[in-house]
Structure 1
Amino acid sequence: MEKKLELSIVMPCLNEAETLAICITKAKRFLDNNQVEGEIIIADNGSTDGSQDIATSLNAKVIPVEEKGYGSALKGGIEAASGTYIIMADADDSYDFEALLPFLKELRAGNDLVMGNRFKGGVEKGAMPFLHKYLGNPVLSFLGRLFYKINIGDFHCGLRGFSKEAFYKMDLKTTGMEFASEMIVKSKLNNLSITEVPTTLKPDGRTRKPHLNTWRDGWRHLRFLLLYSPQWLFLIPGILSILIGFIASAIIISQPIVINNIQLDIHTLLYTSSLVLVGFQFIVFYALTKVYAVENKLLPKSNRYNKLFKYLNLETGLIIGVLFVLVGIALSYYGLNIWKHSNFGELNPSETLRIVIPAVFTILLGMQIIFFSLFFSILGLKNKA
């Protein structure tokens, strides 16, 4: 009987002939020196420089992956892996494949995802571009911790380990560089255990430019973090917009606001009332994004999600929406009476617009609530089935 492999070391590869051999040699040395039953997998994404032949000559397992992208290559290699645990890292000789034992120990201890932290282990001079070291990584890692409550200091370390079982639970979908962020976020959302160990980073051994594009790939990571956290992207800005708009509108309706000889009156009221409508749209997009993400298995379904359809239903929305419309009609009638008393002549805009603007606002808000409730109830049909 063949021994069950404990570890698969997976390297994504796209024209890495300059450094691939040394990475494979170091990985083999780690397996031999630590008596680990393992394999080395090269997930080749269409190399044209002979990388495949180098890997084959060193007895590494080459897995051709046709779909382009960092995430695609890694998924192809991981799915072909036979090990209980996976450790992945780039094949550019920037990570030390002989120093994988801390990762393996944490995996053996039962952790689902083990992240490397380059800032704790040490970044050699010239190993990380200035913008990555002092702006990109710190900012994106901070946002990841803020949005998802993940206590990880280096979100974008390319050296990380996880169990094969945990990988399937993550159900990763992205194909590009944002694959690295998705792995951490999905681990958290699926309640997998995450830890980190110090690791080092040295300048890679390639003479060509790296595949990573600072601004394009940085934006893809940021976009992913925002889209997978609709609470921060839509809900919180929506609530703040409604609160600010409603409070300011309520004050201006009662009387103009004067700040340092600057008077905020009915013209400002148009903007503050619009801010409430914009805030409501943000909350609508939060709900729709949440439904789309869950129903397409981008986010796991939770008890709170199921309650969403219990409280946000067609009947409730129609009642609230109709009430707002009726209030708007009543205010419009009151404004019409004021106009009637002046024999439909000239009006004092400062007085009448304090009634007309809230009237138009409540009618618009009521209609939006009605339309949103109808659409949301259609989305909820699948949930109720």
Structure 2
Amino acid sequence: MSRPSLAPPPRIAVILPCFNEALAIAHTVQSFRQALPTATVYVYDNASTDETARVAREAGALVRAEPRRGKGNVLRRAFADVDADIYVVADGDGTYDASAAEGMTRLLQDECLDMVVGTRVHTENEAYRAGHVAGNWLFNQVVASLFDKGLSDIFSGYRVMSRRFIKSFPCASEGFEIEAEMSIHALQLRMPVREVPTRYAKRMEGSHSKLNTWRDGLRILVHILRLQRLLRPRQFFGALGAVLVVVALLLSIPVFLQFFETGQVLRFPTAILCTGLVLLGALSGLVGLVLEGVSQLSLETKRLSYLAEPAVALPEAEDARESVTTGGTARPVLP
């Protein structure tokens, strides 16, 4: 005779980074508590100057503080401090649909995924400005071209992630580039990822976005290129070396034409510059090859850290662990 599985339910943590979100945080906390009744909701106050911490605490959240400004700094601290099996990350401004969290966490468990991304679907222009839509599309193309594949919304702040994703994620970002880094981490390790369309609403009246389109867009682009240099050094330095060689060839055309006409090299500075550029190009390619080995070692280390954590248990796996005890000896239940 079979008996119900005694395996405990997964521990779910909802992490909400906040900076001056006193107007929206109570509604956001209550919405996630209603959607995920067994989850623990953490609000990380990022040096707010309003009543965000007090309002969140009164709404039933566990409030913690991170004095260093920036969403990346907040999530780095949260991922290190919070111990759970499933992590739900969203913003504290009420723009993400909390009711989708239950379905996203179930999908993570049912398909044994490491990340479920809530792609933003908006019906109001105020929710998702045209400049942000265009920038998001552009950066999606950049990441897809640099890392051979991509996601349709790499900047979505609504994600459900497994413990092994979180505990293998180095988190080097300080600001809004954290979402791009999480996406690239999943792509690099070839983790199982799914995207789910979720409603994206406009901010509450009186609440203002902390994202600066041009400043943060430039920071994100620089960070993506930095990750490409670190994770794909052969590509990065190979491309740099190729550019240097091409520039040297273009500059050397007048030198060769003059040599064929006169039999002499009269433009010594240009000839020396071209020689130096070719040498730098070759050296850049060699550096890329050397660093490729270092990058591969780093990838293997992250992969081992990833594999050291157990996957989210499948419901079928839990059912398979049910057993019948006879004379003190447990034997598996056969179908």
Q: Is the Cα contact below 8 Å between 2:240 and 2:284 reproduced in 1?
A: no
Q: For residues 292 and 99 of structure 1, do their structure 2 counterparts lie closer, same or farther at Cα, with a shift above 3 Å needed?
A: same
Q: Does the C-alpha gap of structure 1 residues 282 and 228 become closer, same or farther in structure 2, counting only changes over 3 Å?
A: farther
Give 3-state SS (helix, strand or coil) of 2:116's partner. Answer: strand
User: Which one has more relative contact order, counting CA pairs under 8 Å at least 6 apart?
Assistant: 2
Q: Is the 8 A contact 1:44 1:63 kept in 2?
A: yes
What are the equivalent positions in structure 2 for 1:63-102 lying under 5 Å apart? 63-102=64-103
In the alignment, residue 54 of structure 1 is paired with which amino acid?
A: V
Cross-structure match for 1:142: 141
Question: Which residue matches 1:300?
Answer: 298
Q: What is aligned with 1:238?
A: 241
Cα deviation digits, residues 264-295 of structure 1 (max 9, x gap)? x9688965874564365356457658878997
TM-score, normalization by structure 2: 0.74
- Deviation digits for residues 46-101 of structure 1 (CA, Å, limit 9, x no counterpart): 22322112121122111111222111112223333333111111111111111123
Q: What does residue 17 of structure 2 align with?
A: 12
Q: Does residue 129 in structure 1 map to residue 129 in structure 2?
A: yes
Contact 2:171 2:178 in 1 (8 A): yes
Instruction: Specify the code of the residue in structure 2 equivalent to 1:115.
Output: V
> What's 1:195 paired with?
194
Q: Secondary structure at the match of 1:82?
A: coil
**Secondary structure of 2:42 counterpart:** strand
Q: Secondary structure at the match of 1:28?
A: helix
Task: Find the counterpart in structure 2 of residue 224 from structure 1.
Answer: 223
Between the aligned partners of 1:154 and 1:267, the Cα distance in structure 2 is 56
Aligned ranges 1:238-317 → 2 under 5 Å: 238-243=241-246, 245-246=248-249, 249=252, 253=256, 274=273, 277-278=276-277, 280-281=279-280, 284=283, 300-301=298-299
Specify every segment of 5 or more residues in structure 2 that has no aligned partner in the other structure, as ranges: 1-5, 302-335
Residue 245 of structure 1 contacts residue 272 of structure 1 at CA under 8 Å; is this kept in 2?
no
Structure 1 residue 254 displacement after superposition: 6.9
The two structures, once aligned, show a CA RMSD in angstroms of 3.5
Query: Out of 30, 33, 36, which is 2:35 matched to?
Result: 30
SS at match of 1:228: helix
1:57 equivalent in structure 2: 58
Aligned twin of 2:48? 47
Q: Residues 30 and 97 of structure 1 are in contact (CA less than 8 Å); yes or no, is this contact kept in structure 2?
A: yes
CA contact (8 A) 2:238 2:288 kept: no
Flag the structure with larger Rg.
1
Q: Which residue of 2 aligns with 1:110?
A: 112
State the 1:19 CA deviation. 0.3
> What is the DSSP-based 3-state SS (H/G/I as helix, E as strand, rest coil) of the residue aligned with 1:229?
helix
Name the residue aligned to 1:155. 154
Do the aligned partners of residues 274 and 102 (structure 1) sit closer, same or farther apart at CA in structure 2, a change above 3 Å counting? farther
Letter in 1 for 2:14: I
Aligned residues with identical type, % of pairs: 21
Q: Which amino acid aligns with 1:100?
A: A
User: Residue 272 and residue 216 in structure 1: after superposition, are their counterparts in 2 closer, same or farther (change >3 A)?
Assistant: farther
Task: Report how many residues are paired.
Answer: 289
- Give the drift of 1:201: 1.3
Q: CA deviation at 1:42?
A: 0.4
What TM-score, normalized to structure 1? 0.65
> How much does 1:186 deviate?
2.0
Distance in 2 of aligned mates of 1:186 and 1:165 = 12
Residues 1:239 and 1:57: Cα distance change in structure 2 (over 3 Å): same
